[in-house]
Structure 1
Amino acid sequence: MMLLDVRNLTVKLNSPNLTINAIDKMSLSMREGSIHGLVGETGSGKSLFAKALIGTLSDKWTVQADRMFWQGEDLLKLKPQKRRQIINRDMAMIFQEPSRSLDPTATIGEQINEVIPKSEFTGGIFSRHQERLKIAKNLLIKVGIKDYQKCYESYPHELSEGLCQKVMIAMALVRSPKLLIADEPTDAMESTTKIQIMRLLQKLNTQKNMSVLLITHDLEAVINYAEEMTILYSGQSAESGPVRDLLKRPYHPYTQNLFKSIPKFNTDTRPKSRLETLPGSTPPLQHLPIGCRLGPRCPRAQKECVVTPKSIKLKGHKFSCHHPINLE
């Protein structure tokens, strides 16, 4: 069953002098119980997409889409109150730099207790304290924190980034969400901690049937844990499809270049040689190219690329390119 289906999402930044399409006609689909990777360079609009989805953008942003279906219901056509109810019930999000997302003046136990909904309590008002304590400690155990009592009584600055991220995941699990949005969940962490967090997300996906939208620039993590992926470049969807199929036969030049930048997936790379990269860098919002935004950096760019390419579906892939590769 299709859990999330977003078509032609556009997020506009409104300023007194001009309007900028920070995200331009992006599409993304997720099946129920899947792990979907959203990959892109820093500044490509990955986090902006997540915030548009859960409705946390400020008034200076305008969100438009042909459709934003959540389990067959278009969120954009609902009243704001009804949309917030669905998002609060079915979605949760964890952020990068978890220690900054937690309140430094309150203990971990106090912060977990704040997010426990009243529906979780079965006893009277006088037994609430013990119930909160039991629920909070069960959540900490569920996310793999062995010394849960010490963690419960600690402040965020007394814990490592890895433990803080596990606490954030525990708080997200309070309402048993159907979709967990993980925004750079392992950013700036040690390799062993990264593996622990990713395995925890995979465990929650398999045991709880919880879908995970993994937002990251770590392409290797997506390849190891996700089933499908969407590649975003400067606010435009470049290519999407099953991870194994994209690895085997990408159709978009940008996808191919991303894979070649990782020695593990580029068998032609010789020891101590330079990695293959595209010239230039991601354009800033103030100077976005017209048409295909990869055009100024793309080795296959031609005059047709000044027109925004349409999305093409072929053999399970969706890509947007005037001059795709590997079609022969």
Structure 2
Amino acid sequence: MPLLDIKNLTIELDTDAGRIAVLEKVSLTMNPGEIHGLVGESGSGRSVLTKAILGILGSNWHVIADRMMFDGKNLLELTAKERRYLMGCDMAMIFQDPSGSLDPVKTVGSQLIEAMVPNKNIPFWRRSKDTYLNAQKWLHKVGIKSPKALMKCYPWELSDGECQKVMIAMAVANHPKLLIADEPTNSMELNTQAQIFRLLSQLNQLQNVSILLVSHELETLVKYCKNLTVLYGGQMMESGLTTDLVAAPFHPYTRSLLKNLPDYTGKIKHKADLPTLQGSAPSIQNLPAGCRLGPRCPEAKRQCVKQPSVEIYKDRAFACHFPYQDEQESDDDTFA
């Protein structure tokens, strides 16, 4: 049974211009122990999707879905109290801005202990000390060299990398089944980025934590994720095994993202322009009709003014009227 199963999720926001669908019929499936990548440009709806999974909804949000299941539970039917308990124990999230997500007037240790669930198997007079030692243990596991000293520090005394490690320790201390990492290495040095990605990979392998890794860096997701889902303008473009998407992308947007990756093996002229997809992502106030990639798509035709339905072909899901066919397939082989 999938750990996370979302079918045709639509999120609409009430704005001054009326109700706008910022996420439109997006489906996502994750199995236990899987690292799933969610890639897209800024404004593609990645953060909106993760907040909907956690239940962090705004007052002007309207969530509609055919199915939204987590570990056999219907997320749409849970009460606010049940969602908070689920988010504190079985789900956790690493936010984009670790420094801004921590309270600047409280020590790191007090915030970490506050987020941890005490072990009820230990007598109540020992739980406080046990939780304190457990917090130090998790700080050490995420790569903090002096966890006891760092417990007494305030967030503004730490670097961005250290704050990110504290956020990771806070997220995994309760052994969640699903960890959502939303741009976990945003604005960090390359060495720190590599260290955090290795840490997330170790948590997945040793603790069997399922990770939804959100990023706009396709090159990084290809390295660490088993499956990928590509979003654009609030619509799902393509989803499937990472190796299949890289070897033979069906959607023009996926192919454009792969072509935009720098080629480190060849010779690039000094100050040469890198290949890019012309145009920019649409704003929510000016969303195009039909396929939202249409104004930028190199394969766009008149039919693209109608939203394409999601097609399934060999465990690959994609939404395009004119997908690329694998050149190795025979001419008689058609998409389902």
TM-score class, shorter-chain normalisation, is over 0.9
Report the residue type matching 1:111 in the other structure.
Answer: Q
Report the residue type matching 2:74 in the other structure.
Answer: D
Shift, 1:86, TM fit: 2.9
Q: Name the residue aligned to 2:23.
A: 23
- Aligned with 2:161: secondary structure? helix
Question: Relative to structure 1, is the Cα distance of residues 133 and 78 closer, same or farther in structure 2, using a 3 angstrom cutoff?
Answer: closer
* Structure-to-structure mapping, 1:1-328, within 5 angstroms: 1-119=1-119, 122-125=122-125, 127-264=126-263, 270-272=268-270, 273-328=272-327
Report the residue type matching 1:21 in the other structure.
Answer: A
Between Structure 1 and Structure 2, which shows a larger proportion of helix residues?
Answer: 1
Deviation readout 1:227-269 (Å, 9 max, x if unpaired): 111000010000011111100000000000001111238x788
Shift, 1:17, TM fit: 4.2
- Aligned with 1:175: secondary structure? coil
Deviation readout 1:45-99 (Å, 9 max, x if unpaired): 1001000111111110111111011123321133443344333321000111201
Separation in structure 2 between the aligned mates of residue 307 and residue 111 of structure 1, nearest angstrom = 49
CA contact (8 A) 1:9 1:66 kept: yes
Structure 1 length as normaliser, TM-score? 0.95
What runs of 5+ residues in structure 2 fail to find an aligned partner? Answer: 328-336
CA contact (8 A) 1:238 1:319 kept: yes
- Aligned with 1:20: secondary structure? strand
Question: Relative to structure 1, is the Cα distance of residues 144 and 261 closer, same or farther in structure 2, using a 3 angstrom cutoff?
Answer: same
CA contact (8 A) 2:118 2:131 kept: no
CA contact (8 A) 1:121 1:131 kept: no
More moved, 16-25 vs 231-240: 16-25
Moved over 6 A (4+): none
Question: Relative to structure 1, is the Cα distance of residues 78 and 148 closer, same or farther in structure 2, using a 3 angstrom cutoff?
Answer: closer
Structure 2 length as normaliser, TM-score? 0.93
Shift, 1:129, TM fit: 3.8
Q: Name the residue aligned to 2:331.
A: none
What runs of 5+ residues in structure 1 fail to find an aligned partner? Answer: none
Q: How many matched pairs?
A: 326
Deviation readout 1:94-138 (Å, 9 max, x if unpaired): 11120111111111111111112234571333x344223211111
> What is the RMSD computed on CA atoms of the aligned residues?
1.7
Q: Name the residue aligned to 2:333.
A: none
- Aligned with 1:263: secondary structure? coil
- Aligned with 2:151: secondary structure? helix
Separation in structure 1 between the aligned mates of residue 293 and residue 156 of structure 2, nearest angstrom = 41
CA contact (8 A) 1:92 1:172 kept: yes
CA contact (8 A) 1:231 1:237 kept: yes
Question: Relative to structure 1, is the Cα distance of residues 168 and 59 closer, same or farther in structure 2, using a 3 angstrom cutoff?
Answer: same
Report the residue type matching 1:212 in the other structure.
Answer: I
Deviation readout 1:172-199 (Å, 9 max, x if unpaired): 1221100000000001100000000000
- Aligned with 2:105: secondary structure? coil
- Aligned with 1:133: secondary structure? helix
